[in-house]
Structure 1
Amino acid sequence: MSVQELRNEREGEDMVDDRPRPIEIIIPEDDHKFKLNIEALEDILCDDEVRDKPVVVLSVAGAFRKGKSFLLDFFLRYLGHKKGSRETSRNDWMGEDDEPLTGFSWRGGVERNTTGILMWSEAFPATLESGEEVCVLIMDTQGAFDNQSTVKDCATIFALSTMISSVQVYNLSMMIQENDLQHLHLFTEYGRLALKQSKFKPFQSLCFLVRDWSYPYDHFYGEEGGRKYLDKVLTVSETQHEEIKLVRKHISYCFDSISCYLMPHPGLKVATNPHFDGRLSDIDSEFKKFLFELVPFLLQSKNLVVKKINGNIITGRGLLECFKAYIKIFESESLPEPKSMLEATAEANNLTAQAAAIDKYNKEMEELCGADKPYLAPQKLEEEHKSLRMLCLEQFFETPKMGGDVFSAEYMKKLEIMIDEAYENFVKRNESKQLMNAYRTPAVLCLVMVLSYILSTILDMFGIESLSQTAVLGLYIPLLLVGLWVYVRYTGQLRSVGTIIDNFTSAIWDQALQPIYMKLLQRGLEQAVNIAGTSKEKKTN
């Protein structure tokens, strides 16, 4: 059944009478976005009996077709009985054996029944053990992982449900599996990102409700068996993989309290009878026994959890503002797009292959025309770039990646852009060697020529002609090297010769000229200090 058909069906039911009923407060739209039904929420939360009272919000979330709505109707039956009896000692809240189950819409089969988030239109009054009066609100959520919902749809519904509720019931089938914890990790992290950082944990109470538990000989049904089972599931040990430890630490960090309850199977009549309407007479006695204990475990006065945000108690009117604020966050583009595990793994594979390819390109180009390499002819540089570009793209294509060629096409295109941008930078660096980096080598060689000329002149003055002629060689050899170096720089030919000349002049500067320059500079500074001190003494005297 489509979303619109389900909505029309509910609207038709709503027009029949004004009795309490489920109201769709978060409405899914065709473009996989969600709309807040503000008018309906105001009718519930701004009622005179609700608006200024603290609220307890219980929500059930989990995979679709796992009996969430069916279970919630027993919660409604319990709360309705409490409201009528006002906490008497009577224990017949479960009703008559032949009484059909009413409340949130539910049915058997494989098609989804609940869409968006629904809230029961009636808030149930309750009194805490402290004597404080509160209102209990019940929410039902769209089942996750049906064939019409995206990962973002599931994450948004679960995150909103967890952010709004004070008690989140995580409805699971048969056992708590690792993928259940990973989904919880993803969905709660999505909700945590939407909340502002504070010193308080982001969410309040989480209850793992394990349906159709088949191992009572390991851990018996109920709260105590659930607690022992949960302790075993959430245990963090040194032998576990880091990913597994991270999931458990995250869940423990996110919630103030975490519990677990193990429920037996309700019986074959419930599972296989298409006409089952919730009558207790069709449900196994063992299921009824532990259902009778489960509902008070969550909704008895002493167990109620008042909704708080950052330590502040939330009233009905405050909860309305929370809904408005949260839906705006999820409507915006400020949150990252949640991905399935396949998508996330495929993305990681492609990003890793992409990074390896661009690293190869940069490394090879650095070897070819890096900062310590001489100028390379533009034509030669372009040829090397084209050849290396092809090799890097082939490396990316041949690297095993999840997602297939269609998924990888986007990353291949991005890699091509990254390589072309890197090439432009290498071209600029290469050009700078020709135009701007042409100072050190010729400057050192020119300085050698000047010093050789001065030395030759001094030796001529003292009549030492043999040494003077040797000094003249220090004039012509640098001149020859300058000419050769200029040729290499501007043509890009004989690059190995250019490298030898650069290394030779660097050695002259580092080993001879720079030490002499530093000594002369130091002496000059010392003399300047001495002269300044002498002048100061004369003025004082």
Structure 2
Amino acid sequence: MGDDHTSVGNGIPFKSGPQQDTTGIRIWHEVFYVPQKEGEKMAVLLMDTQGLFDNATPEDVNISLLTLSTLASSLQIFNTIRMLDTRDLSYLKTCVEFAKETARSDDPLFKLQALNFLVRDHDGDEPFKYGEEGGEKYMQTIFDSKDGDDKQITIRKQIKESFNNVSCSLLPHPGLGVPKKAFQGTNAELEPEFRQQIKSFVEFIAFPFRLQRKESNKKALTARDILNMIIASDGIFACRVYEPENMIEVNIKSYYATAYEESIIEYDEAMKKIFPGDNVMNDEELKKYHQDAKKNALKVFELTKQMGDGKFRKHYHAHLGKICEDHFDTATRKNNALKNAAQLVKKRKTRKAICEYEKEMQLFLANDCVEPIELMKHHTRTFEKVRNGYGDAINADELQSEVNDLHLKIRFENKQRIDMKKSQSEDVRKSHLYWLVRDLDFKCGKKWRKRLSTYQAVADMAKHHKEIKKKIEIKYRKNALTDIELKYSNKLEHRLEVEYKRALAASRKTTYSESLKEQISRRPIKNEEEKDNKITPQQMRDNMESEHRDKLEEYYEGCFIALKEYFDKLKEMIKERKEKANKQNNKTKENMISELNRKLEEEVIVEEERLQRMMNDRYFDMDELESHYEKIKRSFLDVLSSSATQFFLRSHIIKEFESVIKEKFDESLEKMKKKMLRTLIVEL
């Protein structure tokens, strides 16, 4: 009870006056665990039902709420004012008829257990004193009375027969200040007699060893049993059907619904033990475990006691097998996702191992050639080091194949270097050009590797190729030519630059002189615009650079024939590097898409499992399901559109990612719609 300042407002809300405060049935948010014999604990829930049988509440609502709260409770407290009117007992008609109908079964599904008539504002006159003893005498006079018609007498008799225990308690008036608006609900505002009697009443009904469990078939009902009963009853009350036969059928359905759900849990628990979801399993082994778990789940369902005519038993038994298959499908997809993840990791590590081998061998042959026997020894040592370093984390066959190809290429290159080294005495400059081209090729590859740290768009790849090619060709010109050759090469470049600037200046004038037109006409015609003298500055720059390359190649050939030959080789190498870079860039894109697909598959599986659990507990309609998926899809797309994501990913790959995300969640949505339709068919 607390002290004088403790308020009843600390519990279930209330307010003074004729207007009701509770609507429907309100369940206290806290579960009370009461110790029992042999160390067990009983979970106790408190329910408050709105005021019934007034002028404002329809009769069907009165019957629904009273019947539902009585069926769901092991102890129902029937609250009445001043006296227990025999007409009040008629309100329990539906409950009594239900109990009478279920009593025909040896083990009724839901029994009416305890009923307490709480008469408040009683005068407490002799011989009916306040409390349980006076209440028992008062109730006995009501039930033994012959007043009223045959129907009322029959209901009084059936109430005592329908409930296992019927009791009555008398309470005094709480105090004259309670009905007033100024009442705050504190203990100090209550009459001492009322406080004493309400304390005794609570101790009487809530004494730990007097509390009764809600039971069925001589076993305590679980929260799932009660929930299914409430859902089933709600379906009947919504149709305003209160016949006992219909309620019994619904309760049989809820009985099998509970058995069905427990069988599904049995299947899920069995599968979780052998497949927790973090290790890959063999498909045949997983299927065998599924068949055993499904067989056991069906057996658990079949062991439930037969209720009714078997219609619902057969229905839920058939659907249980389908649900087990659905759950197995989810487990299979999760297993495949784990397989794909493992394969992607192994693929990345295999590629990394190959790159390590290639880098080590390139460093070994960076600026010189070696004897073939030394090259073979270093190859063997490097390969063993890489293979042993990664162990089973890589694809050994793929590593072996790639390393063999690289080794053949390196041996061929080493042989060329050896041959070139032998001919150095004959042509030192050719040797210099050879090593220069090899060095520039190595630098070209290095530049490409730097740019390919992330995926590049096709337009960006073309731009990178143009920039790298230009820089490599400039370095070749500066390092391949002698000082005199470089001097005249610079003069050639300067002359072409001057011509370009003069032509550019002329193109900006509305009237061209004949000489300037002649200079412009010397540029190669690229398109129809140039025919009308409408060539753009960028086009003129491109034409100038193209002409400069052509003149430079002619200059190379005129200075030294090998300059042109090695320049052609360098261009071929640059071209090969470009093709190789394009392949690697496409591979990076494929890996990114594969990784996204894998992660999306994991997210979709988790979301589907969460939705399945939610749909097991409450009803989902199509609009809510579509809205739910739209929110999930939107959250992923918002991440892609964030500034942080756009900092690391370019717009072209983001658009492809958006397409993949939409496709994955749309597929999942269609699947969940089909599942929900099957569930609705089962419930119907």
- Normalised to the residue count of structure 1, the TM-score between the two structures is 0.42
| Structure with bigger gyration radius | 2
Structure with the largest fraction of strand: 1
- Structure with the larger RCO, 1 or 2 (CA within 8 Å, 6+ apart): 1
Structure with the largest fraction of helix: 2
- Normalised to the residue count of structure 2, the TM-score between the two structures is 0.33
